[in-house]
Structure formats: C-alpha cells, structure tokens
Structure 1
Amino acid sequence: MAAHRRSRLRTREPGPAATRAQPVPDYSLAHLSALSLSPPELIEAAAGAGYRYVGLRLTRVTPDEPHYPLAGDPVLLRETKARLAGTGVGVLDVELARIGPAEKVRDFLRVLEVGAELGARHVITQLPDPDPARKTANFAELCDLAAPLGLTVDLEFPSWTETPDLAAASRVLRAADRPNAGILVDLLHFARSRSSIEELRRLPRDWFHFAHVCDAPARIPSSRDELIHTARHERLFPGEGGIDVRGILAALPPDIPYALEIPRTTLAIQVGAQESVRLALRATRHFLRPRE
C-alpha cells in the first residue's frame, strides 16, 4: 500500500513540461454541488455531464442535510461501486473528517477504509479546534491512519472555523510534518479569509493535490450565518463573481484536478440538480479555456 501511495503522489508532481504549458485540468464533481443526489445518482450525473471524478460525502456535516451512509450500508456501497464501474467515473476524494475538541480520530477509520475501497485518492478534513497542539496531533494521527490506505489528508480552512485561513492551515502542516498531508484550497474560503496569493505561491508544491473551484460575490459577508449560507447554498460559476479565480489557480500546481463545489440551491430547484452540475462544468470550462 505504501508503495502504491508513493506512486500516486509521484504521478501528480509536475515535471518540466508542465511548467512550460498549462495542461487541460481533470474535473471532479464535489458532492455539495448536488447533495440531493445519492452517490450512485451523483456518479450518473457526473458521467452524463462529462466529469472525470466525483467527491463523495460519507459523513453528515449538518443535522438537516441528506446523509448517505456508505460506510455502514453494504447495499449502497455495492450499488455505488457498480455505477463507478459502469460509467468509468472515478472517486477523487471523500469527506468529511471534521475533527473538533470532542471527536476521536479513530472514529473516522471506517470512512478512510471505504474511501480507499472506492479508489479515492484524498480525504478532506477540517479542524474546528481552538487548541493548536491538539488539532495538530489529531491531524497527524489522521495522516498516519490514512497513509497505509494510499490516501492524502487535505486540510480545508473555512473562514468561520478555528483554522480559518491559509496561514493557520500551513502552521498545522508544518507542525504535523507528515508526507501525505495536504492543503485543500477552496476558492470561496480562500477569498473569504483574505488569504494571500503571494503566500500561496511560497508554499511547497506537494502540499496541493486538488482544488475546490467556484466563484462568489466580491463582498465578504459580515456574519457567520451569511458566510455559511453562501458556502452551502448560493455559490456562483467561475466568472460570475468577484473572486480572482484565475489568479488563485495560477498560484497552484498546474496539473491538479479541479473539483467543482458550486451548490446553487435556487438554480437546482429551477432546472434540476443534474442540469445544474452540467451547467457548472460548461461555464467553468468556458471561463478557464486557454486564452489566445
């Protein structure tokens, strides 16, 4: 397994050719973009729209959101595997290992195991914990659990949590010092936290395995509730808002996949979840197409 993990990581390291020409990115469909769809339905929607990967949410983040217990439902797990095999869509990541003061890291072992069983490369984590030493120790332990399964652990930094920006996430990675550790740059969280593109450019390239891509209005909401509402329900397609989408992505390695996390509840009600994610991919490809 360890050798397999190292092979995976090597395939994502940009070589000289990647620095000279911008490759065409692979696209993944993050589950939050269409959380009303079960994992098999999400895979079918991704295949129909032209995504190469999906990200699957294995844990419930809020009490009122849909929950698809892949880690505890063998029938749903078999159906999900069958859809993956039938469509050729892969699993890029699983989420969410959200570890605060009350959570135990080993409680997420089954999530990691199912992610590896589905062929995922990464597991997303958040650290809403005010104790720097404890959250670093928990992050390191999660990395150690994930490593034999061939998974990287990618730390996301929503601006309303106790790990609220790129600088805070960087401190955790440096202190944990694990080879399979990573930072997940979500463009919304990056912009809302006023993180620095210059700082992003200075960080180790092998910390970045994929990115969450979206847009949003330039105005940063003043309340936590507003921040969360935009993040979970009303993001925009790239080019529709005020985030420096191209600038942030240009500071990341050029060959990482782009996971579209663009929940648009109002649009999905109007046109359906499947059409909403199709429009998201079309708009993103158009916006990020190479300029002549």
Structure 2
Amino acid sequence: MKHQFSLAHLTALECAPPELIYLAAQAGYDFVSIRPIYMGLPDEPNYDLATNKVMFKETKIALQQTGLNVHDIELARVHADIDPLIYEPAFEVAAELGAKHVLSSIWTDDTELGREKFAQLCDLARPYGLIINLESVPIASVKTLKGAIHVLEDVKRENVGLMIDAHHFHRADDCIDDLKTIPKEWLHYFHLCDAQREIPVKKEEMTRILREERLYIGEGGLPLKDMVTRLPSDIVFSLEMPHKQRTKELGTFEYIKKCLESAKTFVQEKDTRIIKK
C-alpha cells in the first residue's frame, strides 16, 4: 500500500510555515505538521498564524500552489497556568487550513486538573472538526503510554486520539505489546524517528537529543520494526527528526529529503517482509 508521510515542524523549525510547505512538497512529502502555537521556548521562532495575518495568507497560498495539506498543528500543552481557551484562535487557523488534528501533552502533576483541562481542550476543538491527540512525553507529567491511555479513558470524549512518538516510547520504557491494546480509532499518526538505544540518565541530555539530535530511520537502536508492525497499516508517518548539526551541514532541504528517503526505505522493507510471510 502507499504510505503517507508528513514533515513535522520540529524537524525544520527554522522554516516559517510557507517555506516549510514549499520545501516539503519539493522533497516529496504528503503533508506538513505545523506549529502555529507559540510556546515561548528558548530560541523558538514565533509562527502564531492567528495574529500574523500576512504569514497566514502566505501559508494558504503555499498550500494552494503545492497541493499539500496540513495534517496537524501543535502544541496545545495542558499546564496548570494555561487556560485552554487561549488555543481557540489556533484551532480556527487549523480548521481554515484543512487540518484535522491537534497535538497535545500534559505538563501538570495535578492529575485531576490535567484531565479536566484536556477534556476542555477536546470540547473547544469539537466545533472545528478537530481531534485532540495526546502524546506521552518522558520529560512531561504524562510520561508513559499507559498514562496517556488512562487519560483518554477517563475524559470519555469522542474527538480524542493517541499520538505515539518512537523516541518517547522507547525513552519511557513502554511495552511493545501494549500497542496491541490501543483502540484503532485512536491511532491517526505516528512520530517516526530513530535515536541511540541507550536511554540518557539526565533529563537535560534526553531533552537535548529529542530536540536536536534524532537519527535517520534505521541508523539508531529504537525497536521500530516491532512498533510499526503493531500499528494500523494506514497510519500517517509524521517525521519528527530534528538534527541541528546535520541541518547546518546539509541545508534544510537536503536534510528533510534524506529523512524522507530513510523513512520510505524502512517502510518498504517492512512491507516486503510482511508480503513474504
């Protein structure tokens, strides 16, 4: 079958959404995943399309000219100090750009508050036809796959999804067999990347690697074959593979092209093994 690939914005965060779209189309991607929600992180560019009307217009033009689609937007963080209502302008942007998904993660250790705010996110997103996909992140409060599953079971909303990141799954020491227990209707896309097999002891080093030193598919030591074979066959592969040094050496276009080539080779080999069986 023909698999579809999205370019996650973190892989080329130096590119504003219009440039990201043109480069992704030229490289052969099917979608882009953009970050129109500004989080104020160190050295993070501000691509708030809800307030930057010029960039928003340029983004729409880029989509029209390339025929690419926006798969998802990010990151609607659940945090004790953040009112979910602030994300509604970004939801409007997502809907107008044709996106169907929003990525979220939970960053408060107050379990009840986290679930309450996540449920509110889902309710805010529903009128825009958006699905809120929860990602477990080992440096956040909901760190594991099981933890994310419990949240979705508790909030009982129809427009929810579970977004699994290969790096985070491995770093959280999640169980491969648990992937079989996830309702298929929750699985819409998957962050495909590779990384060193060894799990960093220090949080700072784990954070550095996940933000700027992920590897080409097949280059590292993550159990990608076991993971992917347990996911729906039509799942979209979103390539979140930031590597600061390689981007500097190769240039953004050549780097994202090599990311896609490594992913397509991996998926093709996976399909070939399944057919032979």
What's the TM-score, normalizing by structure 1? 0.91
Residue 16 of structure 2 corresponds to 38
Equivalent of 1:246 in 225, 246, 251: 225
Residue 85 of structure 1 corresponds to 64
Residue 185 of structure 1 corresponds to 164
Secondary structure of residue in 1 paired with 2:76? strand
Residue 15 of structure 1 corresponds to none
Secondary structure of residue in 1 paired with 2:115? helix
Name whichever of 66-75 and 28-37 sits farther off.
Answer: 66-75
Residue 286 of structure 1 corresponds to 265
Residue 197 of structure 1 corresponds to 176
CA distance in 1, matches of 2:182, 2:17: 34
Q: What is the deviation of 1:288?
A: 1.6
Counterpart amino acid of residue 70 in structure 2:
V
Matches within 5 A, 1:100-119: 100-119=79-98
Unpaired segments ≥5 residues, structure 1 = 1-22
Q: What is the deviation of 1:63?
A: 3.1
CA distance in 1, matches of 2:128, 2:184: 22
CA distance in 2, matches of 1:99, 1:140: 10
Equivalent of 1:262 in 223, 226, 241: 241
Residue 53 of structure 1 corresponds to 31
Q: Does 2:46 align with 1:64?
A: no
What's the TM-score, normalizing by structure 2? 0.96
Post-superposition Cα deviations, 1:87-126, rounded to whole Å, max 9, x if no partner, equal: 0010000001012110101111111111111100100011
Secondary structure of residue in 2 paired with 1:97? strand
Residue 142 of structure 2 corresponds to 163
CA distance in 2, matches of 1:169, 1:184: 9
Post-superposition Cα deviations, 1:49-98, rounded to whole Å, max 9, x if no partner, equal: 00010000012331321121211111110000000000001000000101
Q: Is the 8 A contact 2:38 2:46 kept in 1?
A: yes
Residue 4 of structure 1 corresponds to none
How many equivalent pairs are there? 270
Q: Does 2:198 align with 1:219?
A: yes
Counterpart amino acid of residue 53 in structure 1:
F
Secondary structure of residue in 1 paired with 2:163? strand
CA distance in 2, matches of 1:70, 1:164: 29
Secondary structure of residue in 2 paired with 1:54? strand
Counterpart amino acid of residue 64 in structure 1:
D
CA distance in 2, matches of 1:232, 1:267: 13
Secondary structure of residue in 1 paired with 2:15? coil
RCO higher in structure (CA 8 A, sep ≥6) = 1
Q: What is the deviation of 1:259?
A: 0.4
Q: Does 2:107 align with 1:128?
A: yes
Q: Among all aligned residue pairs of Structure 1 and Structure 2, give the percentage whose two residues are the same amino acid.
A: 38
Unpaired segments ≥5 residues, structure 2 = none
Secondary structure of residue in 1 paired with 2:103? strand
